[in-house]
Amino acid sequence: MGDPDAELRLLVVEDSNTTGLTGGWDQDSNYAALVRDELYSSKREDNAGGSYGLGKSVLWTFSGASTVIFNSQLPPGSDDGESPRLIARTKLPTHELPGDDTTYQGAGWFCRPQHTDDGVRPEALRGDEASRLAQRLQIDRPAVSGTSAMVVEYRDPTRDVRPEIDELADEFVEASVKYFWPAIYRGDLRVTVETPEETREADVDNVPSIRPFVESYEARFEEGTTLQNPGDVAGLDIPVDLPPRSDGTETPDGEVRLSSRLASPADDDTYLNRVALFRGAGMVVKYYDQNRVAFGDRNFYGVLACGEARADGPATESDQEVDRFLRFSEPPEHDEWESTENLREQYQRGFRTALDDMFGTLRDGLRHLISKNDSGRDALSDSVLNHFPIHGTGAPRTVSTSDLGRIFEIDSSSRFDGDRWVFSGHITSNVDDFESWTAEISMMGVGEDGTRYDDVPIESISTDSEGVETTTEDGTVRLIADETSKEVTFEGHSRTKSESNLLSGEVGETQLEVRAELETTEGDQA
């Protein structure tokens, strides 16, 4: 006594208002899945959290005695007999006992053995007997449905040093917030960690490294599409185009919500420049590193809220389908969205592309959100222009429907040639029916840290089409095309630099911007 190394550590993981260990030993049941089977989950419904059942194996891994005790309160009206239901299982290597010739292998049970035609079977203790024993084992629980699992002699096999209880409790709280803050924030989950001394509640506000993500999620439907100041949040819809299910059922097109919060120096930067990916289960699948998207001082925290976590109201049919799709894309560890065997079984070809496209658009969307937007100029890159319907910024694409798809294809390139910049490009309208369209072409210098300044004035431009008029004003070119000019090729150059020395500060990285606007016959601006 008094020697901390001599104590037996008991970790009890207790859930409430859950289904409990229902069902029988011979059935495809919660009870059989948790107690009897290895690596198999009975969670087959479309709304289940996981789809493998790997989670439970950690219970034994973390038990120094390879022993886990379950005590479960079944829901009212359950026809599985008296509650609670108590049973323990130990997983030992094959062994013999001194003075005994028997070789023991596999599982050991703390149970009531029952003789059946198929041999001896472990049966759980029930009712009052289970209750009394649970109390003595310190695994008694409130009489609400759910299960308590006790890991006997808790220890972390990956650590050499046995941490203090307080330290462990802090880690549990922090880890539950780190991975379950969406569920906690939405009020779907409450996590408390009790030690003999005190009870801590996992509160999303108390883990500084996670707070920026919570703020980003909170404000994910904020209007506006770019970020100006530290702490600003803006969001975008990322379209997701799922393949049909394997039985041929068509799936609706959906979208997931990306939001990003510009970092401030006062933020905890543990997960800086990462995007928290999660779906309806409210568990963060991973903090996706997007450091390469950040530049200069434009750091951020992002959230990709998918499926049933996308909106606050009831999930739409497409949200449900996206949720289902992403659940099947999770490997047993639930730490990735990738092409899996499950996806192959559940969906027709195209699941890999659907995932790749979603992540590709996510990156473009992030770039757009965090790009600097100097003096109100719209600085959308071509790929972004082609992906997103932009609302409410006075930006060119004020169309109300997102399935208009790509309005323009734009290619361009530029280089420095002796004493001036030369550039060329190609703009094609993908819409057949239009009255006219315009494009504005300009060049800007860029600093080492990504800051943009000063126009590089364009001196001249020419096009290959007679239906296109060009005007140049203050070094910016405007192309006005009539209804006959579906596509146009242009080339031009900047004013000649008097000093072309690379060390003069006059010549450096330069960005060519092309903004195109379409006037349709209905009179809508697109």
Partner 1 sequence: MSEEETLRRLTEDGRRLVSEPFLKGEAEIEQESIEEFVEPIPGNPTADLGTLDDAVDAALREYSEYETAIDGALAQDVHQCLDINRRVAGDPGLWHWLAVVEYPDLVRHRWKYRSEDAMREKFLGAGSDLYSNAIHRLWWIAELTADGDDYSLTETVFANQTMVNKVFDRWFARYQPAVVAICDELADEPSRVIDDATRRFNHTLTNVQLEGLSEEDARDVVTQIISEVKSE
Query: Smallest distance, Å, CB 505 to partner 1?
Result: 2
Read off the amino acid at residue 303.
V
> Using CA atoms, how far apart are residues 137 and 85, in angstroms rounded to an integer?
14
Of 114 and 504, nearer to partner 1 (C-beta) is 504
Q: Which span sits near partner 1 by CB under 8 A: 31-39, 84-92, 343-351, 444-452?
A: 444-452
Of 66 and 176, nearer to partner 1 (C-beta) is 176
Is residue 266 part of the contact set for partner 1 (CB under 8 A)? yes
Each residue 449-468 as x (binds partner 1 by CB under 8 A) or -, in order, gives: x-x-xx--------------
Q: How many helices (H) and strands (E) does the chain have?
A: 9, 26
Q: Which two tokens stand for residue 60?
A: 């034994």
Q: Which two tokens stand for residue 357?
A: 């496209």
Is residue 507 part of the contact set for partner 1 (CB under 8 A)? yes
Of 33 and 173, nearer to partner 1 (C-beta) is 173
Of 499 and 524, nearer to partner 1 (C-beta) is 499
* DSSP characters over 333-345: TS------HHHHH
> Using CA atoms, how far apart are residues 371 and 50, in angstroms rounded to an integer?
37
Query: Smallest distance, Å, CB 266 to partner 1?
Result: 4
Query: Smallest distance, Å, CB 455 to partner 1?
Result: 13
Is residue 501 part of the contact set for partner 1 (CB under 8 A)? yes
The H or E element containing residue 456 is strand 452-456
Is residue 163 part of the contact set for partner 1 (CB under 8 A)? no
Contacts with partner 1: how many residues (CB under 8 A)?
31
**Nearest 5°: CA angle at 311, between 309 and 313?**
110
Please select the residue that binds partner 1; options are 448, 466, 473, 522, rule is CB under 8 A.
Answer: 448
Is residue 522 part of the contact set for partner 1 (CB under 8 A)? no
Of 270 and 460, nearer to partner 1 (C-beta) is 270
* DSSP characters over 40-70: -----STT-S-SS--TTHHHHHTBTTSEEEE
Q: Which span sits near partner 1 by CB under 8 A: 78-86, 177-185, 192-200, 259-267?
A: 259-267
> Using CA atoms, how far apart are residues 242 and 126, in angstroms rounded to an integer?
47
Angle between helices 165-185 and 211-218 (to 10 degrees): 10
Please select the residue that binds partner 1; options are 218, 269, 357, 519, rule is CB under 8 A.
Answer: 269
Read off the amino acid at residue 213.
F
Please select the residue that binds partner 1; options are 249, 471, 496, 504, rule is CB under 8 A.
Answer: 504
Considering only CA atoms, which of 509, 78, 72 is closest in space to residue 296?
Answer: 509
- Residue 254 β-bridge partners: 240
Of 397 and 452, nearer to partner 1 (C-beta) is 452
Residues 213-242 that bind partner 1 (CB under 8 A): 229-231
> Using CA atoms, how far apart are residues 324 and 439, in angstroms rounded to an integer?
42
By CB under 8 A, name the binding residues for partner 1.
208-209, 229-231, 264-266, 268-270, 296-297, 445-449, 451, 453-454, 499, 501-509
